[in-house]
């Protein structure tokens, strides 16, 4: 792990969906030590407004012609001053990055059907998780796999407000995983099946049709979606983990601005830092205020 921000170079910075960009950053040290679900902090060098970096889930690994991991891809939605500034950056310009940070996903061999539940920009931690879980000989990974073979069935339940907000669909399609897409307004992206509703709708249908002991949910997205998902998981006794999008400031656990209420084995709870003990937590242990 990089112990502090390092100055490196932007390889690509492309618009891939409505107000959504995919930035490729050269950083071999991070690419070699990354695990699915971890994140990095990014900031523009020499800028003090905003002063702090912003957290981004690592979307994919970038490799050279010899398949060596030499960098990472992140996806970001332009929502404020920092991300608007990122959108103006061009290939070859410098960028500061620090990571990988936090804890990633952890699965076991009992998982028969991995359900990745995503809303908004919440699909970003799942491409590398899917690649890792598939253990495909054509997909070379540099980190220890989170799930031993045989590979499970994988479904991405991905919801967006409209068709223009989906990002990375072709990347998931190439892996051959099941795509269950929903939009609030009922619009569908070209070349993909989609229905009106919420991402939790197809997830619930899976719960109703398959044994709970073989199911495992990994979820990331807006708070209301995660709350709804947790209720369904508790109702159907389905295991899982959630990656929280709690706002972070420092990224190293000293400011305590990103705390979440997490239960322990006794049923008592304590504040846990999303940047340090998370961002991935056992779904059943998260307490929503």
Instruction: Name the token pair of 224.
Output: 């209301």
245 pLDDT band, cuts 50/70/90, is confident
Same domain flag for 15 and 86? yes
Same domain flag for 130 and 227? yes
Provide the number of structural domains found in the chain. Answer: 2
Q: Is residue 68 part of a domain?
A: yes
pLDDT (0 to 100) of residue 75: 96
Same domain flag for 175 and 203? yes
Q: Is residue 263 part of a domain?
A: no
Q: pLDDT tens for residues 163-180?
A: 999 999 999 999 999 999
Q: pLDDT tens for residues 12-32?
A: 999 999 999 999 999 999 999
| 63: containing domain | 6-100
Rounded-to-integer distance, Cα 156 and Cα 176, Å = 11
Of the candidates 77, 100, 123, which is a domain's last residue? 100
Spacing of C-alpha 48 from chain mean position: 27
Q: Is residue 158 part of a domain?
A: yes
Q: Are strands 153-160 and 113-119 parallel, antiparallel or unpaired?
A: parallel
- Here the CATH number for the domain that contains residue 130 is 3.40.50.80
Give the mean pLDDT of 110-133: 94
Same domain flag for 16 and 58? yes
Q: pLDDT tens for residues 131-160?
A: 988 864 334 444 445 554 456 899 999 999
Same domain flag for 17 and 95? yes
216 pLDDT band, cuts 50/70/90, is very high
Report the residue count for the chain: 289
Give the Cα-Cα-Cα angle 77, 83, 89 (nearest 5 degrees).
110
Same domain flag for 146 and 89? no
Q: Is residue 230 part of a domain?
A: yes
* Residue at token pair 């690592």: 58
Give the mean pLDDT of 204-233: 97
Average pLDDT, the chain: 90
Please report, rounded to a whole number, the percentage of residues in the chain having pLDDT higher than 70.
92
Same domain flag for 126 and 235? yes
Sheet holding 178-183, edge to edge: 194-196, 178-183, 153-160, 113-119, 215-220, 239-243, 280-282
Rounded-to-integer distance, Cα 2 and Cα 24, Å = 17
Give the mean pLDDT of 39-64: 86
Nearest in space to 228 (alpha carbons), one of 182, 266, 264, 168: 182
Same domain flag for 135 and 165? yes
Nearest in space to 192 (alpha carbons), one of 205, 178, 204: 178
Instruction: Name the token pair of 27.
Output: 């950083």
pLDDT (0 to 100) of residue 3: 65
């Amino acid at each position: 792990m990089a112990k502090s921000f390092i100055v490196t170079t932007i390889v690509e910075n492309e618009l891939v969906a409505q107000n959504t960009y995919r930035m490729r950053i050269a950083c071999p040290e991070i690419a070699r030590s990354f695990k699915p679900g971890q994140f990095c902090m990014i900031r523009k060098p020499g800028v003090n407004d905003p002063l702090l970096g912003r957290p981004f889930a690592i979307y994919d690994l970038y490799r050279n012609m010899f398949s060596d991991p030499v960098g990472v891809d992140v996806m970001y939605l332009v929502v404020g001053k920092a991300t608007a500034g990122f959108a103006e950056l061009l290939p070859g310009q410098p960028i500061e990055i620090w990571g990988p940070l936090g804890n990633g996903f952890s699965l076991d061999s009992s998982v028969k059907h991995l359900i990745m539940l995503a809303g908004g920009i919440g699909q970003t931690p799942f491409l590398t998780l899917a690649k890792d879980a598939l253990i495909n000989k054509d997909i070379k990974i540099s980190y220890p796999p989170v799930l031993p073979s045989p590979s499970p069935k994988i479904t991405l339940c991905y919801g967006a407000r409209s068709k223009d907000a989906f990002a990375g669909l072709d990347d998931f399609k190439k892996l051959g995983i099941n795509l269950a897409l929903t939009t609030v307004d009922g619009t569908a992206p070209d070349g993909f099946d989609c229905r009106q509703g919420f991402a939790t709708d197809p997830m619930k249908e899976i719960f109703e049709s398959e044994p709970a002991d073989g199911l495992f949910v990994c979820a990331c997205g807006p708070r209301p979606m995660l709350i709804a998902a947790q209720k369904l998981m508790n109702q159907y006794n389905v295991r899982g983990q959630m990656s929280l999008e709690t706002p972070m400031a420092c990224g190293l656990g000293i400011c305590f601005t990103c705390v979440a209420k997490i239960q322990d084995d006794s049923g008592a709870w304590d504040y846990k830092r999303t940047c340090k003990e998370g961002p991935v937590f056992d779904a059943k242990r998260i307490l929503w205020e």
